[in-house]
Structure 1
Amino acid sequence: MTADDLVLHTNPMSRGRIARWMLEETGQPYRVELVGFDGGNRSPEFLAVNPMGKVPTLVHGGAVVTEAAAICAYLADAFPQADLLPDPTPASRAAYFRWLFFAAGPVETAVTAKSLGLLAPPERSRMVGYGSFDQTVDVLEQAAASAAPWITGARFTAADVYVGSQIAWGLMFKSLPARPAFVAYVERLQARPAWQRASALDDAAMPKQD
C-alpha cells in the first residue's frame, strides 16, 4: 500500500484534525490534500469527490468516506491490525457504538446549537435527539468518568479518537465545561504519540499570519 491509496482531503482548521489523528493511529501511509475555505471547497474537482463541499473527506482506493465519525469507524475496520476496534464482547462493542454515535449525534448537535443560540426550548426538548444541553453534557461526563482508561475499557479504540476530539475541542473553545473527568480524559488522549504527531502536522499546515 502506498500513500496515494489513502488520501485525506482536509483543512487544519476543521474536523479534519480528527481524521488526521485517526490516520496516524492506524500507522498506514497516507497523502493529504489541503482544501482551502476561500473557494477550494467549492471547486468542481472537490465537489466531484464530496458534493457537500465539506472536510474531512477520505478516499481509499476510490471509495469515498465522509463525516469524521464515519471515517474513524471505517479506518478501524479497514485496518484491524492497528487494534482500534473494541474487544469482541457485547459490553465492549456496545460501549464503542454507543459513545461514538452519541458524540456524533447528541453531543455535536447540542454544542453547535448552544453556540448558535438555537437550543430547543424546554417544552420542545422531546423533539430533539439531545434533549437538553445540560443533560447531554452530564451523560458525556459519565462516559469520560467511566473510561478505564478508555471508553470501552482497557483498549483504546476509534471511539476514543472521536469522543475525545469532541471533548478536547469543547474544552479549548469553552463550549463544554472544564469538568475534572473531561480534563483527565483529554490529558490521557493528548499523551498519545499519534495525537502529538497529528497535532504537529496540522499546526504546521495552518495558514501563515502576515
Structure 2
Amino acid sequence: MYTVIGYGGTRAFRLLWLLEELSLTYRHERVMPFTDAARARTPGGRLPALQLADGTILQDSTAILTWLADHHDALTFPAGSVERARQDAWVHMVLECLATPMMCWTLMIQRFRAETDPVVRAWVADSVDKGAERIAQELEDSGGPWLMGSCFTIADIVLGHCLHWAERYERPVSQPILRDYLARVEARPAYRTADWA
C-alpha cells in the first residue's frame, strides 16, 4: 500500500488525485512541510513524499506522478514515444510558467513564516499572468479537452492543480479557455474525492 506524506492543500494533492484516478488504495499522513514531523520522514522536511510498501520514500511531486503513471501504465504515454515527449513538454511548461512563481511565494511563507515584500508579490502576479497566457495559447492548439487532446494525463493533473493553486493565491486565470479547462478538471470524480486536507 502507498502512503502519501503531506498536507492535501499543497502539491501532495497531485499525488492524492492521481491515486484516486487510478483507484488505488493508499494511506494519507497529513503532515506540513518543514515541520518536525516532516523532518522525521524526509531529509530537510521537504514534502510531498510517497512511501512504497517496502518503505522506500520517493520525493518531488512530478517525479512521483511520473513513477506512478509509468508503474501502473496509466495516464501517460510510453517512455521514448513522441507523445511522451509532448506530454513531458507540457509538464515542464506548466512547472515553469505557473508552479515556479507560486512555489517561490509558498516557500517564503513556509520557510520564513512571513508575508513577502510587495515586489515579490507583484513578480508572482505578473509571472502567473504571463504564464497563463502562454499556456492558453498552446492549449488552443491541443485539439481536445485535455493537454494531450482526448487523453487525460499526468500533465493535466499538474496544470489542474496549478490553476486551483493560482485561485487560492487570488490570481485566478482570466482566459476563457483555461476557465473552461478548470471547470472540466473540477468535474472529474477523482478530483472531487481527493483529500484537500
Pair in the same fold by TM > 0.5 = yes
CA–CA separation in structure 2 for the residues paired with 1:47 and 1:172: 26
Q: Partner residue of 1:144? A: 139
CA–CA separation in structure 1 for the residues paired with 2:129 and 2:164: 18
Q: How much is the aligned-residue C-alpha RMSD, in angstroms?
A: 2.9
Larger radius of gyration: 1
* 2:93 maps to which of 102, 121, 136: 102
The superposition leaves residues 124-161 of structure 1 with CA deviations (integer Å, 9 ceiling, x where unpaired) of: xxxxxxxx655433212223333411111111111111
CA contact (8 A) 1:111 1:175 kept: no
Q: Which runs of 5+ in 1 are unaligned?
A: 122-131
CA–CA separation in structure 2 for the residues paired with 1:144 and 1:55: 30
* SS state at 1:118 partner: helix
* SS state at 1:58 partner: strand
CA–CA separation in structure 1 for the residues paired with 2:5 and 2:105: 28
Say if 1:108 and 1:85 are closer, same or farther in 2 by CA, change over 3 A.
same
CA–CA separation in structure 1 for the residues paired with 2:61 and 2:161: 10
Q: Which runs of 5+ in 2 are unaligned?
A: 107-115
Aligned positions of 1:1-210 closer than 5 A: 5-36=1-32, 41-43=35-37, 46-61=38-53, 62-80=55-73, 83-86=74-77, 90-112=81-103, 116=116, 117-118=119-120, 134-147=129-142, 148-198=144-194, 201-202=195-196, 206=197
The superposition leaves residues 150-190 of structure 1 with CA deviations (integer Å, 9 ceiling, x where unpaired) of: 11111111111111110122134332432111111111111
Say if 1:176 and 1:145 are closer, same or farther in 2 by CA, change over 3 A.
farther
Say if 1:171 and 1:48 are closer, same or farther in 2 by CA, change over 3 A.
closer
Q: TM-score, with normalisation over the residues of structure 2? A: 0.78
CA–CA separation in structure 1 for the residues paired with 2:82 and 2:103: 30
Identity of aligned residues (%): 25
Q: TM-score, with normalisation over the residues of structure 1? A: 0.73
CA–CA separation in structure 1 for the residues paired with 2:122 and 2:179: 28
Please say which of residues 155-164 and 28-37 is displaced more in the overlay: 28-37
CA–CA separation in structure 2 for the residues paired with 1:8 and 1:88: 25
